[in-house]
Copies of this chain bind each other. A is one copy, B any other.
Amino acid sequence: MWNPRRFKHCPSCGAPVEYLVPADDNRERATCTVCASIHYENPINVVGTLPVYGEQVLLCRRAIEPRHGFWTLPAGFLELGETAAEGALRETDEEAGAQIELQPLYCLMNVVKVGQIHLYYRARLLSDQFNPGPETLEARLFSEHEIPWDELAFRTVRETLKHFFEDRRLGRPFELHCGDLS
């Protein structure tokens, strides 16, 4: 759960902040009691991929909290200085050491309760050899019937996989799915 009031002190000068509605605004913002600067808090982006190799998809078993030991698609926080696609590629390299060709954006999901937007790109795996990084216990390919549905780390991973297998089963083009998780 995001903390909508995570600022206690001003990141510019260190003085205490108060949550006040600025004159030209309609929401409470962290406002410095000394230098008067205003500090905004906004949703952040998680970017990742759905890497596909033939009939199989790649999942990574998490070596870190939250959800240690659970399976996820390679994904992580978008960083300053990169595009969403670059971030998705980087996370796939860092978490799985997988060689991919990135394909179009496939799922965009708002996870309002945690202040996040999750963006997953489809990807074509160029090899079935992986080299997982320190955040991953294991990276391996799964056929649809092998997916550990009860051991998936995040609901957006489940949604993305469900959309993919459904689109594939119905022979539909892999168009963008937008959705909200409450």
Contacts and interface: CB of A to CB of B under 8 A. Distances in A.
B105 A84 contact: no
A86 to B, nearest CB: 8
A42 B44 contact: yes
A54 interface: no
B4 A9 contact: no
Q: Oligomeric state, in number of copies?
A: 2
Contact of A4 (B45, B64, B81, B112): B81
A148 interface: no
Contacts of A79: 27, 42-43
A149 interface: no
Contact of A83 (B27, B30, B78, B180): B180
B11 A6 contact: yes
Given A43-B79, A176-B176, 18 more contacts: A4-B80, A7-B11, A8-B12, A9-B9, A10-B11, A14-B15, A14-B16, A24-B64, A41-B80, A78-B117, A83-B110, A84-B108, A84-B110, A84-B117, A85-B178, A105-B108, A105-B176, A105-B178
